[in-house]
Amino acid sequence: MIRVVATTPFDGQKPGTSGLRKKVAVFQQPHYVENFVQSIFDSLEGFEGETLVIGGDGRFYNREAIQIVLKMAAAAGFGRVMIGKGGILSTPAASCVIRKHEAFGGIILSASHNPGGVHGDFGIKYNVGNGGPAPEHVTDAIFERTTSIREYRIFDAPDIDLDTLGITRVGDMVVDVVDPVDDYAELMGTLFDFDAIRDLFASGFTMRFDAMSAVTGPYAHAILEDTLGAAHGTVVNGEPLPDFGGHHPDPNLVHAKELADLLMSDHAPDLGAASDGDGDRNMIIGRGRFVTPSDSLAIIAANAHLTPGYKAGIKGIARSMPTSGSADRVAAKLGVACYETPTGWKFFGNLLDAGLATVCGEESFGTGSNHVREKDGLWAVLMWLNIIAVRRQGVDEIVRAHWAEYGRNYYTRHDYEEVDSAAVDGLMETLRGQLESLPGTVVKGLTIARADDFAYHDPVDGSVTTKQGVRVFFTDQSRIVYRLSGTGTAGATLRVYIERFEPDPARHDQETQAALADLISVARVLPDIEGRTGRTEPSVIT
């Protein structure tokens, strides 16, 4: 029986860079999840009888939210839901399942790399039929709907068993509980040379994959250890926990420090990798060599033709604006286009659908390709393994050879987290007001060549997205970008992206912060970060 429940709007149900993300306690308020889910359904058309994919990263409140979504999907008239066993689906696996089974769309329960647990974050994201995050006109419509919602519809039914594979029903709707790994693992097997990677491991290659007690554990155990023969124990923190074991499941040098330290030590394995809460981010570290996400994108683009799935070559590369320009140099050499998009994976969707780009990447530890419509952490790891297996070179050797051929883009990101929103809004507005006067200005010996506020003109649908970050270019091929994070749940976060191109191989061995020291100090004084935020140092440097 369908129950119609009267409700009133909640403030702030506005999807950010990647869905609606709030503290768990916010989602636990009566009607909060229901309002948002009903607003999603109310914004869509033509899904009667169609399939909806549902899955999450296993964080606290995942199962409760899934029960609500299931019963509301039944009330809304979906014909079938496919749901990962235990309510688990990594974000790239959800994208894969949506595409393979031609689902109408999917609902992913995740706050990605944000901490989980009772006091952590939760999130809900809607993906469309191509498997990718809903484009802005859809998320705008959803938000609009949340502001006027008066009722929602939910099927009155007992909770559905999420832990037994196979088919049950809620009313007329079929509930198909599927293995969360199978479809995804099969797709990976079509893209990469599993035999070559098996030989690599058999020849003694060692690896550590840190699943950070988040969703990739089951995927990594199945693919790396069970299928590809990596030694047992290769995957650590491989069991998804509701609070991620109390850790911050973000694969970077700060939150995956143990892994990074191991790779810099005397007993480092050949490769270290980690993935985030929902499995779409990745970090790659070789023995003694951290690979920046921007370099990883460029190296993957330059070597993808060595793998079966990309042997015909890539059609184009896309990167988010704050990502370094290293991929641009690969694109130029390959004679393919390089697209520069706003931050957020959703902007790659049109380029991938139109066949304009094959590989994409972001500085925020995201890499992926046209195989799904999300970034994909394990895909990046398998890509590196396949490249290593073919080239028979270590990570450090591959990275150095790449720099020698293309030049090195020294790159760092400085984050000022949980700062006062009004203060950083003012900082950005002031910078925007100076765009015309900055060119020609000399700051600490560096001359500004040009400055702008990045706007994106989507070549496929013609849409324009403005105010995506202030870029300051210098005459020596350096760049500083200022941008406010779109994913935080507390206060505001100012991100400062600092980059310099160095063509000379004799100068490729500097420590990054040292190589960029002058630019870093320019980046601080130019908008007077200390004066406006009271912070003398960033809270996180990656």
Q: Which residues are catalytic?
A: 112
How far apart (Å, rounded) are the C-alpha atoms in residues 87 and 122? 14
Closest CA to 278 of 70, 421, 84: 84
Residue with tokens 């890499």: 367
Least separation in angstroms between residue 105's CB and ligand G6P is: 17
How far apart (Å, rounded) are the C-alpha atoms in residues 361 and 365? 8
Site for ligand G6P, residues 364 to 423, rule: CB under 6 A: 364, 366
| Residue 340 binding Zn ion, by CB under 5 A | no
Stretch that binds ligand G6P, among 1-9, 178-186, 232-240, 485-493 (CB under 6 A): 485-493
| Residue 343 binding ligand G6P, by CB under 6 A | yes
Nearer to Zn ion, 250 or 328 (CB): 250
Contact 369, 378 (CB under 8 A): no
Nearer to Zn ion, 106 or 269 (CB): 106
DSSP string of 202-271, one letter each residue = HTT--EEEE-TTSTHHHHHIIIIIIIT-PPTTSEES-S--TTGGGS----STTTTHHHHHHHTSTT--SE
- How many other C-beta atoms are found inside a 10 Å radius of the C-beta of residue 320? 28
Nearer to Zn ion, 39 or 90 (CB): 90
Structure tokens at 355: 């066949």
Nearer to Zn ion, 35 or 112 (CB): 112
Site for Zn ion, residues 114 to 173, rule: CB under 5 A: none
| Residue 280 binding Zn ion, by CB under 5 A | yes
How far apart (Å, rounded) are the C-alpha atoms in residues 370 and 461? 18
| Residue 146 binding ligand G6P, by CB under 6 A | no
Least separation in angstroms between residue 74's CB and ligand G6P is: 29
Number of helices (H), then strands (E), in the chain: 18, 27
Residue 343, contacted partner among ligand G6P, Zn ion, none, CB below 5-8 A by kind: ligand G6P
Nearer to ligand G6P, 270 or 374 (CB): 374
Which of 362, 376, 499, 502 touches ligand G6P (CB under 6 A)?
A: 362
How far apart (Å, rounded) are the C-alpha atoms in residues 367 and 365? 7
How far apart (Å, rounded) are the C-alpha atoms in residues 207 and 273? 8
The site string for ligand G6P over 114-143 (x = CB under 6 A, - otherwise) reads: ------------------------------
| Residue 278 binding Zn ion, by CB under 5 A | yes
| Residue 485 binding ligand G6P, by CB under 6 A | yes
| Residue 345 binding ligand G6P, by CB under 6 A | yes
Least separation in angstroms between residue 277's CB and Zn ion is: 6
How far apart (Å, rounded) are the C-alpha atoms in residues 360 and 367? 6
**Dihedral sign for Cα atoms in the order 446, 448, 449, 452:** positive
Cα distances (angstroms) measured from residue 500 to each of 251, 291, 324, 364, 465: 24, 16, 9, 18, 26
Nearer to Zn ion, 297 or 446 (CB): 297
| Residue 250 binding Zn ion, by CB under 5 A | no
Contact 161, 168 (CB under 8 A): yes
How far apart (Å, rounded) are the C-alpha atoms in residues 496 and 502? 20
| Residue 324 binding ligand G6P, by CB under 6 A | no
| Residue 62 binding ligand G6P, by CB under 6 A | no
Residue 278, contacted partner among Zn ion, ligand G6P, none, CB below 5-8 A by kind: Zn ion
| Residue 183 binding ligand G6P, by CB under 6 A | no
Pairing of strands 151-155, 2-6: antiparallel
Least separation in angstroms between residue 349's CB and Zn ion is: 16
Which of 42, 121, 210, 276 touches Zn ion (CB under 5 A)?
A: 276
Q: Which residues of the chain form contacts with Zn ion (CB under 5 A)?
A: 112, 276, 278, 280-281
Q: Which residues of the chain form contacts with ligand G6P (CB under 6 A)?
A: 17-18, 112, 320, 343-345, 362, 364, 366, 485-487, 495
